[in-house]
Amino acid sequence: MGNSALKSHLETSQKTGVFQLTAKGLQEFPEELQRLTSNLRTVDLSGNKIEILPASVGNFLQLKSLTLNSNKLTGLPAEIGKLKKLETLSLNGNQIQLLPPTVGQLKALRTLNLSGNQFTEFPAGLGTLRQLDLLDLSRNRIQSVPAAVSELQAIEINLNQNQISVLSAEVSRCPRLKVLRLEENCLELSSIPESILTESQVSLFSVEGNLFEVKKLRELEGYEKYMERFTATKKKFV
């Protein structure tokens, strides 16, 4: 991409606070963006070939949305934790295996999209994200949902298309969790904690494509209680 095109993008971004440059074959995070650290609120660099997010990303203190879907990222710098106003972090379709602990400092974060990466374990340290609404970890290689999940404030957790065979009963203690998606995993009926049905806030529990027929859920203790929540939620949206 020519310098003149980038220059005109930068000039526009200075006025709008939005920098969007998708599918241009970029191999690195544009250094020129450093000139706009004080006014950029939205950055979208999806569909490029960026392998490394530089530490200088921590300078964009006004940033509310950072989208780097479909790049070649293998991780994030610790400095990501400086983005105290960040509400959306979207990193779908990269090669990330771990998050730095500083992600837990993103106090304004509402949406964390990590679909289609290379996580083999459920990311730790996200319980401090008190504003988190959506955590999308679909299409990874996660094998179990640990007890620490109970600390999460998320309203929706998407774990579709992983390799999950173990689901901690502690998930039923998530204080705000309404939607739990576990389609196309490796769960047996005996792996489903009945407390999700009896004690949780979950009103949409999606488990199609596991190692049991979905209708078998009806045999579990508490299924009727879950269906009351499910039906009540449906009525709200009709």
Q: Is residue 43 part of a domain?
A: yes
Contact 109, 131 (CB under 8 A): yes
C-alpha dihedral, 148 to 150 to 151 to 153, nearest 10° = 140
Residue 137 and residue 180: Cα distance in Å, rounded?
11
The domain tally of the chain equals: 1
Burial code (b: 16+ CB inside 10 Å, e: under 16) for 17-49 equals: bebebeeeebeebbeebeebeeebbbbbbbbbe
pLDDT tens-digit series, residues 79-120: 999 999 999 999 999 999 999 999 999 999 999 999 999 999
Whether 150 maps to a domain, the answer reads yes
How confident is residue 215, by pLDDT bands cut at 50, 70 and 90? Answer: very high
In 3D, which of 23, 20, 24 has the Cα closest to residue 12? 20
For the stretch 22-67, pLDDT in tens is 999 999 999 999 999 999 999 999 999 999 999 999 999 999 999 9
For residue range 168-189, list pLDDT tens digits in order: 999 999 999 999 999 999 999 9
* Domain contains 3: no
C-alpha torsion sign, points 222, 220, 203, 133 = positive
Enter the pTM of the model. Answer: 0.96
* Exposed / middle / buried, residue 88 (Cβ in 10 Å: 0-12, 13-18, 19+): middle
The residues near 227 (Cβ < 8 Å, ≥ 6 apart) are none
Residue with tokens 């449906």: 234
Tokens of 194: 């009945």
Range of the domain at 208: 12-235
Question: Is the residue at 4 inside a domain?
Answer: no
Phi first, then psi, for residue 161 (nearest 5°) are: 55, 55
* CATH number of the domain where residue 143 is located: 3.80.10.10
Number of Cβ within 10 Å of residue 14's Cβ equals 14
Torsion of CA 175, 189, 134, 184, to 10 degrees: 180
Q: What is the DSSP letter of 170?
A: G
Q: What are phi and psi of 142, to 5 degrees?
A: -70, 135
Residue 169 lies in a domain: yes
Q: Is residue 5 part of a domain?
A: no
